[in-house]
């Protein structure tokens, strides 16, 4: 599939925003974060900003962005619509929790209930985003049980990295946030490696014989290509990335999105706050670049079953 930059921005930015909301809410309720006005204002402001930018960028891929509101009406059958509904709902409890934190410096009682509800809705929204792709049976690399865990774990990991940077900026002691982030990155890396291994090793399930409705015992071959020139289907659904480039980009993604930030955060713990802001900032930059590469590969390596009609033998 042709990687659309607007969708890459949407999934990475909103995922990090929801991940930050999740950790802010749960760690705040659990007493692991000081309920201080300006920290809450900055953290929730960053989270809502990332979520809003991500959601708005997703409309740029539409033929008529001004009609995006119509997607909300199809929530019974469309994961895209469910994602939109969940995203709007998520603003409410998270926004109320932010009010309690920022204006009253209180995260107990009703504010804690709103915080937990916001954390739940953040995860639900990420799941809906992932299901937009995981529900498509026509793309083997997406119709995979690991797609939802990949999206959720990457969102939580990137959100944790952002929270660690905010903690460093506001002078919170090194320790808990860094350890949580390293664990989150480790889990996300394990799931992503398992996903790559699965899509590379599993048997390609669709053949040109199945696509044409002929018997499996019959060998089907094309006399001529369906079109004499490039078209929308080939540009959007027949995108190809060379195997050698795919391996190289995977290595970059693993190093930048996972290994480098884990090493930087471990060094932060060892340095005991001396270079905390600098190391945390490097971690955020590394994860941002790495996740963008990972997400680009997620789209670029997907092969739509329609390519069987354009010369592919299997999909």
Q: Dihedral of the CA atoms 31, 165, 161, 241 (nearest 10)? A: 160
Model's pTM, two decimal places? 0.90
The closest of 58, 237, 233, 250 to 140, measured between CA atoms, is 237
Residues 84-127 pLDDT 10s? 999 999 999 999 999 999 999 999 999 999 999 999 999 999 99
Domain boundaries, the chain: 5-310
**Residues 40-66: tens digit of each pLDDT:** 999 999 999 999 999 888 777 666 666
Q: Which residues, in sequence order, are CB contacts of 290 under 8 Å at separation 6+? A: 252, 253, 254, 255, 256, 257, 258, 260, 261
pLDDT at residue number 204: 74
For residue 266, the tally of other CB atoms under 10 A from its CB is: 14
pLDDT at 133: 93
Contacts of 224 (CB under 8 A, 6+ apart): none
Could you tell me how many helices (H) and strands (E) the chain has, helices first? Answer: 11, 0
Angle at 196 between CA 232 and CA 7, to 5 degrees: 40
Q: How confident is the model at residue 68 (pLDDT cuts 50, 70, 90)?
A: low
Q: What is the pLDDT of residues 129-140, one digit of tens each?
A: 999 999 998 888
**Mean pLDDT calculated for residue range 70-88:** 86
Higher-confidence position of 11 and 73 = 11
CB within 8 Å of 149: residues ≥ 6 apart: 191
Provide the pLDDT for residue 219.
76
Q: Where are the beta strands (DSSP E) in 182-279?
A: none
Architecture field, domain 5-310: Up-down Bundle (1.20)
What is residue 40's predicted lDDT score, i.e. its pLDDT?
A: 96
Q: Which of 21-30, 38-47, 52-61, 188-197 has the lowest mean pLDDT?
A: 52-61
DSSP character at residue 1: -
Q: Residue 271 pLDDT more than 90?
A: no
Between residues 210 and 25, the one the model is more confident about: 25
């Amino acid at each position: 599939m042709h990687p659309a930059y607007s969708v890459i921005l949407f999934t990475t930015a909103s995922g990090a925003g929801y991940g930050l909301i999740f950790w802010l809410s749960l760690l705040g309720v659990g007493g692991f974060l000081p309920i201080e006005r300006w920290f809450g204002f900055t953290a929730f402001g960053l989270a809502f900003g990332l979520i809003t930018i991500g959601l708005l960028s997703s409309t740029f891929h539409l033929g008529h962005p001004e009609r995006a509101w119509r997607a909300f009406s199809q929530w019974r059958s469309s994961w895209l619509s469910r994602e939109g509904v969940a995203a709007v709902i998520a603003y409410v409890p998270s926004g109320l929790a932010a009010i309690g934190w920022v204006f009253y410096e209180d995260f107990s009682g009703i504010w804690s209930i709103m915080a937990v509800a916001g954390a739940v809705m953040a995860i639900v929204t990420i799941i809906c985003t992932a299901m937009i792709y995981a529900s498509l049976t026509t793309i083997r690399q997406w119709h995979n049980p690991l797609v939802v865990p990949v999206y959720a774990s990457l969102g939580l990991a990137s959100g944790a990295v952002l929270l660690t940077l905010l903690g460093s900026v506001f002078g919170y002691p090194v320790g808990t946030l860094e350890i949580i982030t390293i664990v989150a990155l480790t889990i996300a890396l394990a799931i992503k490696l398992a996903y790559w291994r699965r899509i590379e090793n599993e048997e390609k399930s669709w053949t040109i014989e199945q696509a044409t409705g002929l018997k499996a015992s019959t060998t089907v071959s094309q006399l001529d290509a369906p079109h004499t020139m490039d078209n929308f289907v080939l540009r959007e659904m027949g995108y190809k990335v060379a195997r050698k480039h795919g391996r190289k980009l995977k290595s970059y993604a693993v190093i930048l999105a996972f290994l480098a930030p884990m090493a930087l955060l471990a060094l932060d713990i060892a340095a005991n706050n001396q270079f905390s802001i600098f190391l945390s900032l490097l971690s955020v930059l590394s994860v941002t670049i790495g996740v963008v590469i990972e997400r680009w590969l997620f789209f670029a390596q997907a092969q739509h079953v329609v390519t069987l009609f354009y010369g592919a033998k299997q999909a």
